[in-house]
Amino acid sequence: MIPPPAMSLKKVVRHAGLVSFATLLSRVLGYARDALLASAFGGGHLTDAFYAAFRIPNLLRRILGEGPLTSAFVPLFTQHLEKGERLEAKRFFQTLFSTLAVLLTVLVGLGILFAPQITHLIAWGFHADPAKFDLTVRLSRVMFPFLLFVCLAAIASGALNSLGHFFLPALAPAMLSVAEIGFVVFLIKRWSRPMDGLAWSALAGGVLHFAVLLPLLSRENILPRWRWEPQHPEIRRVGLALLPAVWGLSADQINAFFDTLCASFLVEGSVTALYNSNRLVQFPLALFGIAVSTAALPSLSAAAARGNWGEMKGTLNLSLRIVLFSILPAMGGLLILGRPVVELLFEHGQFTPRATLLTVSALNAFALGLPAFAAVKVLVSAFYSLKDTGTPVRVATLCILVNMAGNVAFMGRWGVGGLAFATTLASLVNAGVLLVLLRRRLGLLGGRRLAKTFLQSLVACGAMTAAVFAVLTLLPGGRLAQVPLAVLAGALAYLGTARAMRMEELSHVGGFFRK
């Protein structure tokens, strides 16, 4: 495998560092929001209804906005930029934006109209409690327009990424947290039905998510303009790619949909436990896996457009090694510190120890799948940079079936933890099959270097585990003192061991954070 140019490596690392830092800020705000919501509303029927209602537009957002549509759009947009066709790239963006705005408006209208039927589909078990079902319907109608704004923001972010802007597009999703925190802190007492106010604040967060990107779009002279050209050849190419891409990149979201459906039949608080545990797992996944895949996609697409397969494989190998080096200690940390972290972040106010146990059971199962979740993000980006939508479709379909079968097999015995483990199992299958098929497509991908990184990272995780247990065992005091010090001690042990083994990835990750 021919290594990519050093400039290409530096570009991926620099951009990934910017995305990671912005994501860190966004996730910190997200956890502050979740902690406030847990304290204000607890982990019972109210939050079950809110998270089930939010799952509906958020699922469609993942499927139509941040996943397949963006990945179908970015390679084509980048191709124009590589050819010096800036005006054609702008025309393509504005045409797609206008087409998407019309289609999404229609979809939002249908979602509001058929909210009862959609709620029946996603939270079937809520029918046993008519008040809970009606609340979910009402909240979903308020939040459905959220889909319109965040999907338009996703296309805008994809264009900005291709133009070299990564920080603000990665930070913009934090506006959802800002809006909800603002509601809980300043407005909750003014609403006779606070959960309705929370839904309106979520919608406001979606509007702000899109609005903060407008100044940067203006600076790049690609502000959205009405350009109705549904016969534009590349609009049709995006449309044709979108249908299979919905399955190729969104298997995890479809799995989450089915998880919520199954959780609605379990004990009260199960839907909330799934949401909170998934939020904790999403932190390292977004910080490393999504950050690296977001930064790598334009570079992979540019290399594929030039036919430079050596550069593409080198960029892919580097991206996977950075993901492994970063995600494995996060997985170990969540397995060891899961309960203390949940207690520290959520067990306040109306959030009970019983809710903590439910959340931890799902968190442990989700944490085991972190390496696979992150690897899938990078591997699917590689397929889409090759404009191959068919392969991820077939693999994702298999994995959706694996998750459904796993849910049925495990939920009776392990409850909400069984649902999370089924998702992990499906993602492991997804990552393994994609890697094998991509190797057949491109040739050798540097498997020995990946295996070396994996084994060395496991050794470093062993040192990290010993350090974390030492802090938890020897340090007196509450979780507020133990958790941060355990994280710090574990990180120092991991990085120190990696340095002693002279791991190459350490220097890349160091640059990743310095940038």
Q: What does the pLDDT look like over 289-307, one tens digit per residue? A: 676 766 666 677 677 767 7
| Residues with Cβ within 8 Å of residue 361, at least 6 apart in sequence | 273, 414, 415, 416, 417, 420
Least confident stretch, 54-58, 156-160, 189-193, 456-460: 54-58
Exposure on the CB side of residue 20, measured as CA atoms within 13 A: 26
Mean pLDDT of the chain: 82
Which region among 139-143, 191-195, 407-411, 460-464 has the lowest average model confidence (pLDDT)?
191-195
**pLDDT at residue 2, as a whole number:** 43
Of 1-15, 309-323, 345-359, 403-417, the least confident:
1-15
Report d(CA 175, CA 167) in Å as an integer.
14
* pLDDT of residue 64 exceeding 90: no
Q: Tell me the pLDDT tens digit for each residue of 87-115.
A: 888 888 888 899 889 989 999 999 999 98
- Residue 3's pLDDT is 47
Residue whose pair of structure tokens reads 């040739």 in the numeric block: 443
Question: How high is the pLDDT of residue 233?
Answer: 75
Distance, CA of 141 to CA of 288 (rounded, Å): 34
pLDDT in tens, 118-150: 888 777 777 778 888 888 899 999 999 999 999
Choice between 141 and 164, residue whose per-residue pLDDT is larger:
141
Contacts of 185 (CB under 8 A, 6+ apart): 36
Region of residue 478 (left: phi > 0; alpha: psi -120 to 50; beta: else): beta
Residue 332 burial (CB < 10 Å; 0-12/13-18/19+)? buried
- What integer pLDDT is reported at residue 459 of this predicted model? 93
Looking at residues 213-238, what average pLDDT do you find?
A: 83
pLDDT score recorded for residue 4: 47
Domains of the chain by residue range: 6-514
Tell me if residue 421 falls in helix, strand or coil. helix
- pLDDT tens-digit series, residues 388-447: 777 887 888 888 899 999 999 998 888 889 999 999 999 899 999 998 898 888 877 777
Instruction: Report residue 15's pLDDT band, with 50, 70 and 90 as the boundaries.
Output: low
CA dist., res. 479 & res. 136, Å (int)? 34
Element (H, E) at 193: none
Name the residue with tokens 């699917």.
380
Instruction: Please give the Cα distance from 246 to 250 (Å, whole number).
Output: 6
- The answer to whether the pTM exceeds 0.85 is no
* Torsion sign, CA atoms 278, 280, 286, 289: negative
Segment among 3-12, 167-176, 347-356, 385-394 with least mean pLDDT:
3-12
| pLDDT for the residue numbered 105 | 93
Q: CA geometry: angle at 447 spanning 441 and 453, to 5°?
A: 140
Residue with tokens 């084994």: 455
Distance CA 268, CA 264 (A): 8
Which of these ranges, 244-248, 311-315, 457-461, has the smallest mean pLDDT? 244-248
* pLDDT of 268 above 60: yes
**% pLDDT > 90, the chain:** 22
Distance CA 312, CA 86 (A): 23
Per-residue pLDDT reduced to its tens digit, 38-57: 777 876 677 888 888 887 78
Q: Is 382 exposed, middle or buried, given 0-12, 13-18 or 19+ CB atoms closer than 10 A?
A: buried
Q: How many CA atoms lie within 13 A of 226 on its CB side?
A: 1
Backbone angles phi, psi at 407, to 5 degrees: -60, -50
User: How high is the pLDDT of residue 450?
Assistant: 86
Query: Comparing C-alpha atoms, which of 143, 177, 361, 189 is closest to residue 269?
Result: 361
Residue 196: count other Cβ atoms within 10 Å of its Cβ.
15
- The stretch 227-236 carries a mean pLDDT of 76
Q: Which token pair is 463? A: 């040192």
Query: What is the mean predicted confidence (pLDDT) over 213-224?
Result: 90
Tell me if residue 39 falls in helix, strand or coil: helix
Under the banding of pLDDT at 50, 70 and 90, the label for residue 179 is very high
Q: How far is CA 511 from CA 35, 453, 504, in A?
A: 32, 17, 12
pLDDT in tens, 2-14: 444 444 555 665 6
Contacts 24+ apart (CB under 8 A), 498-502: 498/325, 498/456, 498/457, 498/460, 501/456, 501/459, 501/460
Of 45-54, 152-161, 223-232, 381-390, highest mean pLDDT:
152-161
Band of pLDDT at residue 1, cut at 50, 70 and 90: very low
Chain length of the chain: 515
